[in-house]
Structure 1
C-alpha cells in the first residue's frame, strides 16, 4: 500500500501533501440500469463497478441521492464498495426520479453518474400484504439483546420498531426479487406492496420524527396491518405449539392462529374471496433461556390459489433488522455477538449480521411458499444464511462466496404465472393449458436416407413441452452437470438429442433434467433406460409411426419398473386403438370412454359402434370398480385434445385419477387430487377443467400436427389398477393402414 508522506525539511508550516494514489483504471459505472429505464417497484437494487483504490479504504464509498419529479430530495445515503464493485438500495416515488451517484475517495468526489428512472406503479395488480399478529394481552415488545440496548430503550423492541423493521425487510425482498428476475432474463419483476399514505419510516430523518412524536413526515409506504389474535401471550408461547420443539403436539397451530386472526379482523383484503398473499410476523415470539427454546415461533408457508396464502415467521430475530434505509449496510455487516438472552436460531445467529440474514431470509423463504415455491435451491434451501448480504452491499466478508440467496429458476418461472409478477406486454392472463402443460422426455425416431439410398432410423431423446422449454441439463455419470440447452424466452417447445451422432458415453448413466417455462420439471435419472422400451410403434409396409408418451405412478417409477424390458412381474402390458376391426373385417370407431376412478385409478373402458368394448387394462371379463367413474360420448369426427393424469397415489401405489378433454372443450373424469404438503403448493381446487398446478398433475397431449389414436399402459394383473397410462399419436388426418390392426401390441390381453 502506498503511504502518505510529509515534507519535513521545511521549518515553516506547510500543507500536507498526498502522493498519487495507484488505482486500477476502470470506469465508475452502473451495470443494471440505463438512463430512462421504466421500473415498477418502490425499492430498487442498483450496482456497478468502480476503480480499485490502493489507499485509505475507509474513505471509499458511494453516495446515492434521489430527487423526485417535484424536485424533493431524499437524504443522501452512503454505501460501501469493495474490490472495484459497489451495491446500493434506493427508494423511488412515482414518476421520474433522478439518481445521483458519487464515488468518494480520500480527498473528495472522484467521479459522478446521474441517471433518471421512471417509476410506474402497477396498482391494478394484487399486492403482497404485511401483517403483525399480536396476542390479546400482548406487551407489544419483541426480544432485544443488551447489544441493542434492549434493557434501556425500546428503539429496537417496541411495536413501532417492529412495524419499521418488517416494512424495510419487505422493501429489501422486493428489490432482491426484481434484480434476480432481471438477471435470469425474465424482466425486472417483483411483487408490489400494499402501500398507504402514512408516516414515512423508511428514511432516518422521517423515521426519527415519527419516533419522537413530532410532526410526522408523511409519504406512501408499505402498510403493516396489526392483527389482534384471540389468543393470550401464554397460549402463543405454549411450548406445545413451538415449531422447534421436537416434542410439541401442535407445531402447526401458530399458522392456524394467524389464519384465524386474519379472518376475524374483518379486513376485506384478508378474506378468502380476495385470495391474498400475506407475510405474517408473530410479535409475541420469545426465547426462553430456561427451556432453551424459541416460543411463539413457527416458520411455515402455504399457498392456496382459492384462499389466503400465508407465510409466517417469529419476531425473535427482528432486533437485528434495519429500521430504515441508512441502517441497511450496518445491519448487514455487524459482527457484534448477540449474547445469551436471545435465541440462536438454527445455530446461525451468534452475530447481529447472522441474525439479520436468517431472520429476513428465512421469512422470505416462507413468503416464497405462500407464492407457491417448493423446496428447491437457493432461498428455498436456506441459501440465505451465508450470503444474504451479497444482494444488497459489497463487503469483504462475502467477497469470496457464491451468492446462494437467490430464487431457483423453477421458482421464478412459477412466480411468473401469478398476476403479482406480471409486466406490461405479457400478453394477458396465463391460460390453463400453459399452466398445466407437462414435460415429456421420451425416445423418438429420426428417419433418414443414407448415401446408398437406404433408409436408416436414428434414435433421439426428445424433450418437449407445449409451454416451452426453458432449460435442459445433462449429467453423464458423476461428471459436473452442464446446461445443454437454455432458452428463457420459451419459444422452443421441443428439443432433441441425437444419441447416434452425439458423443455420449453409454457406459455411464445419463441424467436429463428438463425445465419448462411454466416451472414444471421432469427428470430422467438414466435416460438410456428409455431406449429399452421403444417409444414408438412402426407400422409394417408404411412410413407411419405411432408415437407414445405416458406417465407412471410415483411408486412405479421408484421401483424402476421401466428398466425391466417389459417383463414386470405382477403387471400386464396393454394397448388399444380408437378404431377396432370387427369379426366381419369392418372398422368400428369408438363411441364413448368410461373413465373408472375410485380411491385410485382403476382403468378405463372404450366402447365401439358394434357394441363391443376394450379394457384399458386386463381384458376378458375383468370388471373395473370406481365410485367416481364418469363416461362420455365421442361424437363422430371429434378428437381427444388431452389426457390429464394425477400421479399422487395416496398410498395405493397406482395412478390416482384421470380426466380427458375433447377438441370441443368438453371434459370428464376425476383426478383424485389430494395434495397435503403444508409448506408447498396447498392448492385444493376442484377436479374441473382448470386442473391444480402441481408436479403431481401431468398432461399428455399430441403434437401440433398429431392426434390421439389410442392408449397403452401397464396395470396390476390382479386388481387391474393402472400404474402406467399413455397415449398413442399419429399424424393428423392420416388413415391408419389395415396392417396396424394385426400388430401383436393390440391383441387383447385376457
Structure 2
C-alpha cells in the first residue's frame, strides 16, 4: 500500500481490514480504515469531513466517485469492483480541500464456478407496478422511489450490501473473506448514480454497460386483491399461502429456477401494501425455506423499500436519514419511525430470511439480535461502528458454509459426509498418568470453546478460527477455511488456573460444521469419570452418553435406575461360553420407553429397569444382528426434545448405514449423536431410567479399543464378571427399586391413543 500526503503533520490514511494487492472474490467490498481526526479541533460552521473514493478498473476506465462520511477518525465505504486489478484512491476532504490520500490496489476474481444467489420480484398479474412510497419520499409527485424500476435498483443494491457485510463479518470471525456471489448479466450498470444516467449522454453507452446483478421479474397468476386478502395475511398458518404462491410463480417462470440445479432465491413481493384501515401490511410475509434437493428461497415484502438506496451514492444518505416515515406506510411494530429505521428493518430482516434459505433453520436468529438497530453502522462510520452487532451468529455461519458451495474459497477442503454430520463430544478422559482430562472432540474440527460463569458471562474463550486466521495473516498467504483440532485436551490444573472451582462453570463448544454442545457443569463432568478400568488388566473402557434436560438440570432427590449391559455376555447355560446380542428392539412412543436386547441363547436384557415386565412404544422398531454385526454399531442418535422430561427418541446406525429406531421429531438442534472414533468399538450400553414409568433419561455407549475387540483373544474375560456392566439392582435400595410402581403417566397412556407412549404394539416381557 502506498500513500501520499499534502502535509507531514497529518496522519495518513490506513486500512484496517484489507491489504494492498489483496485478492477479493465478491464484487462489493467494504473497506474500513482510519484517518486524521479533525473533529478533535472543530471549527464553527465547518463542512463535515468525508472520504472521496475514486476507482479505475484494469482497462483504466473510471468507476465514478462516491463520498463517505468520517467519524472520529474512522471511515467505512463500499467499493464496486470490476474483474482484474482495481486502482482505488481514497482522499480525505477537510474544509473543501484534500488533506491526504492513499491508494489501494484490489484484485477482483469472481468465482464463476460456484452457484450464485438469484434475485426475483413477484408481481401480480394485474399489478400497477407501484410500491408504497410516503410523501417524505415525494411519493405523490415522483416515481423515483415508487415504481418497479426503482424496486429493481433497490433490491440489487441491497443484495450487494448483503454481500459486502457478509464477507467482512466472516473475515472478522477468522473464516476468510467469503460470501455468496450474485447471478450477474451484461446490462446497464445501475450500481452508481453516474453509470445509471450516463445513457442520456451521447457516446456514453459503452461506459454505462457492465456485469450487474440480474433481478428477475416473475409474474404471478394471482391478482393484487388475492395477494392482499386480509384473511391470508392475518392468520399466521395461512401466510404460507403467499410462500406457496411465490414457489409456483418460480416454477412457471422456469430457468434458472429449476429444482435440479438447487438454486437459492431472494424474492420480494412488489404488491405489498400498508392498509391504513386495517393497520396491517398486506401481501407481505417474511419466510425463508431451504431444500437440499430443490429450490430454496427467501421471501419478503416491498413495504420498506422506499427507504432503501438505489445507488452507491445513496447508501450513506439512506442509512443516516432521520426523516419521519409518516402515517401512510407500515411502522412494523413501531420499528420504522424514521427513514433509516425502515431501511434497517427491511434490509436486515430480508437478509435474515436469506440465511434461512441457505440452510439456517428457524426459529433461532441467524443474525445477532442487535442486527436491526446496528445495521447502518456496518456501512457508514458512526460512533460505535467498530462494536456493532449486525453480524451473523458464528454457529449459523459455520453451518451455512459447511452445507453450501456458494461460500467456498480457493484452497478450501470440503467436509466429508461424516464430518458434516458429526457431533461434538465432551467427556472425561485419562492422561498417561491416569489423571482426568477434559476431552473435547469433533470429526469436523473445533471452532470455538467457551467457559461461562453462573451468570452466563464468558470467562474464558478459545477461538480456533481467529487463531488460525492470525497465523495465515502472519504468513501472508491465502486464507481458506481451516478447522481447529479434532481433539482438544485440558487438564484439571489448567482449568483450575482459569476457572473458579467453587462455582459451577458451564461449557459451550462449537464445531466447524456448526454443531454445538453444552455441558452444564465442568466440575461435575470431571467428577463423574466416564471410564472403567478392567481389573487385572491395563484395559480402560470409555463411556459417554446423552442425558435428558430434566436430569441435567434437576436438583431433585428422586432416584433413577442406573443400568448397564454388554452386547456379548456369558451364556445362560454356562460352560465358559459367550452369547451375543442377536436382536435390539428400540421402544419409542410419545417418548423413549427404553430398549430390549435379545441374545442368541434366548436370554434378554432391558435397557432400563431390570424388573420391567413390558414396554410400550407405537414407533418401536427392532433389528436382528448377526454375530459379525454385534460390534458394528457406529452411531446412536438421541432426541433430547419433548415435554415429558425424558429422552424423546433413539436411532441406531451400523457402519454400513443401516439404521433403525425413531428420532421422534425434526428439531435438529435437539438431536445429539453418540459416535465412535476410528479406533473404537461399541461393546455395550448404559443409562438411567425412571423407577416408576421406566422412561429413559440417559442413554450412553460403552466402548473399547478396536484393536482389543477385533483381536483373536477378544475382550478379557474379567469384563463379563464386572457388576458395573450388568443390570441388576439399579444401584438403589430395595424401597427405591420399586419407587412409584407403575407411573400415572403410563396408565394415562393406555387411555389416550393420541398422546400416550403405549399402544397395541407393546412388547410383553413376561
TM-score with structure 1 setting the length: 0.85
Q: Which has the higher mean CA deviation after the structures are superposed, 704-713 or 406-415?
A: 704-713
Report the CA distance between 1:380 and its aligned residue: 2.6
Give the CA deviation at 1:333. 1.1
| 1:594 maps to 2:584 | yes
| Contact 2:273–2:281 (Cα < 8 Å) also in 1 | yes
Distance 2:587 2:605 in 1: 17
Please say if 1:698 is aligned against 2:672. Answer: yes
The Cα offsets for residues 165-203 of structure 1, whole Å up to 9 and x where unpaired, read as: 000000000000001111111111100111112222111
Equivalent position to 1:536, from 531, 542, 553: 531
The correspondence for 2:699, drawn from 725, 741, 744, is: 725
Taking structure 1 as reference, are residues 390 and 375 closer, same or farther at Cα in structure 2, changes over 3 Å only? farther
Instruction: Report what 2:483 is aligned to.
Output: 490
Instruction: For 1:105-124, list aligned pairs within 5 A.
Output: 105-106=94-95, 108-124=97-113
What does residue 574 of structure 2 align with? 584
Match of 2:168 in 1: 179
Aligned partners of 1:202 and 1:120: how far apart in 2? 19
| CA distance in structure 2 between the aligned counterparts of 1:44 and 1:261, rounded to whole angstroms | 33
Alignment check: 8 A CA contact 2:565 2:684 kept: yes
Distance 1:362 1:666 in 2: 39
Check the 8 A contact 2:635/2:676 in 1, yes or no: no
1:562 Cα deviation after fit:
6.8
Q: Deviations over 1:80-100 (max 9, x none)?
A: 111111111111122222222
Partner of 1:335: 322
Which structure 2 residues correspond to residues 306-345 of structure 1 after superposition, within 5 A?
306-345=293-332
The answer to whether 1:151 aligns with 2:140 is yes
Structure 2 residue aligned with 1:220 = 211
Matched-pair contact (CA < 8 Å) for 1:38–1:117? yes
Contact 2:687/2:698 (<8 A) preserved = yes
Q: Which moved more, 1:532-541 or 1:410-419?
A: 532-541
Deviates more, 1:84-93 or 1:619-628: 619-628
Distance change (3 Å), C-alpha of 1:445 and 1:100: same
Q: By how many angstroms is 1:438 displaced?
A: 0.9
Q: Does 1:466 align with 2:443?
A: yes
User: Aligned pair in 2 of structure 1 residues 601, 106: CA closer, same or farther (>3 Å)?
Assistant: same
Looking at structure 2, the residues matched to 474 and 248 of structure 1 have their Cα atoms a distance apart, in angstroms, of 39
Partner of 1:424: 410
Hey, what's the Cα distance between the residues in 2 that align with 1:579 and 1:159? 71
Shift of 1:365: 1.1
Deviation at 1:604, TM superposition (A): 4.2
Three-state SS of the structure 2 residue aligned to 1:219 is: strand
Question: Matches of 1:266 and 1:631 in 2, distance apart?
Answer: 47
Residue 237 of structure 1 pairs with residue 228 of structure 2: yes
- 1:177-216 equivalences under 5 Å are 177-208=166-197
SS in structure 2 of the partner of residue 444 of structure 1: strand
Residue 80 of structure 1 contacts residue 394 of structure 1 at CA under 8 Å; is this kept in 2? yes
Quote the Cα distance in structure 1 between the aligned partners of 2:456 and 2:81: 46
Distance 1:170 1:370, change over 3 A: same
Q: Which residue of 2 aligns with 1:452?
A: none
Post-superposition Cα deviations, 1:342-396, rounded to whole Å, max 9, x if no partner, equal 111131211111111111111111111212235698863442222111111113x
Aligned pair partner of 1:252 in 210, 232, 240: 240
SS in 2 for 1:710: strand
- CA distance 1:412–1:92, change in 2 (3 Å): same
Q: Spell out, residue by residue over 1:677-711, the C-alpha distance to the aligned partner (whole angstroms, 9 max, x if none).
A: xxxxxxxxxxxxxxxxx323322122444332211
Match of 1:744 in 2: 723
Offset, 1:615: 3.7
Find out whether 1:67 has 2:71 as its counterpart: no
1:639–1:123 Cα change, 3 Å: farther
Residues 313 and 648 of structure 1: CA distance in aligned 2, closer, same or farther (over 3 Å): farther
Q: Tell me, in whole angstroms, the C-alpha distance in 2 between the residues paired with 1:198 and 1:34.
A: 31
Taking only aligned residues, the RMSD between alpha carbons, in angstroms, comes to 3.1
How has the CA–CA distance of structure 1 residues 535 and 568 changed in structure 2, closer, same or farther, with 3 Å as cutoff? farther
1:221-244, CA deviations, whole angstroms, 9 ceiling, x for partnerless residues? Answer: 1111112222221222222233xx
Q: Separation in 2 of the partners of 1:399 and 1:562?
A: 42
Structure 1 residue 50, shift from structure 2 partner: 1.0
Q: Give 1:637 shift.
A: 8.4
| Distance 1:698-1:48 versus aligned 2 partners, 3 A rule | same
TM-score, with structure 2 as normaliser:
0.83
Q: 1:64 to 1:592 in 2, by over 3 A?
A: farther
Partner of 2:290: 303
Distance 1:634 1:626, change over 3 A: farther
Check 1:719–1:304 CA distance in 2 against 1; reply closer, same or farther (3 A cut): farther
- Number of residue pairs the alignment of both structures matches: 692
1:416-470: CA deviations, max 9, x gaps? 112111111112x43221111111223334462xxxxxxxx54443322222221
Whether the aligned pair in 1 keeps the contact of 2:583 and 2:599 (CA below 8 Å) is no
Q: Which runs of 5+ in 2 are unaligned?
A: 1-5, 466-481, 709-713, 730-766
Deviation at 1:608, TM superposition (A): 4.4
Separation of aligned partners in 1, 2:570 and 2:717: 9
- Cα–Cα, structure 1 residues 654 and 379, in superposed 2: closer, same or farther, change >3 Å? closer
In the aligned structure 2, how far is the partner of 1:476 from the partner of 1:445? Answer: 25
- In 1: Cα distance, 2:125 partner to 2:153 partner: 21
What is residue 680 of structure 1 aligned with on the other side? none
Say if 2:652 and 2:661, in contact at 8 Å, map to a contact too.
Answer: no
CA distance, structure 1, for counterparts of residue 486 and residue 363 of structure 2: 24
Contact 2:448-2:464 within 8 A present in 1 as well: yes
Q: Which residue in the other structure is 1:37 paired with?
A: 22
Q: CA deviation at 1:328?
A: 0.7
